[in-house]
Amino acid sequence: MAFSTRGAAALVLLAAVVAAPANAQGSAGGESLGTVQIFTNDWFGMPFGDRFDRWRTGAYQVSHFRGEAWNGALPSDPFALVEYRFRGEIIAPDNLAAPAAGDRLYAPALYFGATTHFEMRGIEVALGADLVLTGDQTGLMGLHDGIHRTFGGSNVDLANFMIEDGIYFNGIVEGARSLDWGAANVRPFLEVQAGVESLVRAGVDLRFGSYDDEALLIRDPITGQRLIGIPGDNGGGWTFSAGGDVAFVGDSVLLPISGPAIEDTRYRVRGGVNYAFGPSNFFYGVTYLSEEFVGQSEGQLVGSMSLMLRF
């Protein structure tokens, strides 16, 4: 079983993020501030998505937030607000029944992590880490196969066309600045990630409409869509969002050297809509993902959905 020494710093960060709330706020770790679920799938891109069950084909994330009572603004202290999350993702070749020799390997992964959100000198910071399991040990291929059998799709048996089992640590930090631009909000950001995938990413996000300026938004790691994690008191009605970014990629466990070479530059372009009703929210977005490996015939469109029900 592989172990990434590149992620040693992320292990320390993960331990710090998980342990710090108890030290900073007592054994209770603050109060529960909310939970959000995020679904990403190429089928959700309808009527725009490719719906071919390939490449970045599907993912599910649930995030739970704990900390001091939310007052509509990020705390100034790290670890005063912590997001605990679980994510499962399946990345697949173009053809599940008979993958081409030059296609990417089947790459299932499970992420267990935490992120602290805070503000430092006017910069919004998200600092986090994940413990990541990859390969057949995740059990995700069996789940994928079961879904296909249920809905009449092709069997999924890619044991001989899959990345290796491994345990890795992945660290990520994002810094951003929110700027008001008339009736809209513009938020340029810079992200650095190391571990499972090592990259530097820069981009910008735009919100307009009846957006909640007191909500905490989190970024979906696959699409870059920003979704409400903790609602504020100023929400209601329709909010529209758009964004894009470019990433410069060093290496990736998800694209090992036994498969095709990595495209060292990636692009994402996204748009979404959020509807807030009381303390609840529904989000839907579509994202274009550029090619991630040499030989990938085209980019792809995936959809994201999130439903937060609070009473």
What are 229-238's pLDDT values in tens digits? Answer: 998 887 678 9
Q: E strands along 139-220, which residues? A: 166-176, 179-181, 184-194, 197-209, 216-219
What lies within 8 Å, CB to CB, of 97 at 6+ separation is: 154, 155
pLDDT in tens, 19-42: 555 444 443 468 999 899 999 998
Closest to 40 (Cα-Cα) out of 87, 84, 85, 97: 87
Query: Residue 263, SS3?
Result: coil
* pLDDT of 15 higher than 60: no
Q: What is the mean pLDDT of the chain?
A: 88
pLDDT in tens, 127-159: 999 999 999 999 999 999 888 878 767 788 899
Q: d(Cα 251, Cα 232) in Å, to the nearest integer? A: 38
Tell me which of 140-149, 185-194, 214-223, 266-275 is least confident: 140-149
Distances (CA, A) of 212 to 181, 186, 196, 215: 15, 14, 33, 6
Q: Is the pTM of this model over 0.85?
A: yes
Query: Residue 231, SS3?
Result: coil
pLDDT at residue 4, rounded to an integer: 43
What lies within 8 Å, CB to CB, of 195 at 6+ separation is: 4, 6, 7, 10, 129, 130, 132, 168, 169, 170, 171
Which residue in the block uniquely carries the two structure tokens 């670890």? 79
Q: d(Cα 268, Cα 203) in Å, to the nearest integer? A: 9
pLDDT at residue 228, rounded to an integer: 93
Q: d(Cα 80, Cα 103) in Å, to the nearest integer? A: 44
Pick the CATH number of 2-308 from 3.40.50.880, 1.20.1250.20, 3.30.300.20, 2.40.128.140: 2.40.128.140
Q: d(Cα 170, Cα 4) in Å, to the nearest integer? A: 9
Q: Could you tell me how many residues make up the chain?
A: 311
pLDDT at residue 47, rounded to an integer: 63
* pLDDT of 122 higher than 70: yes
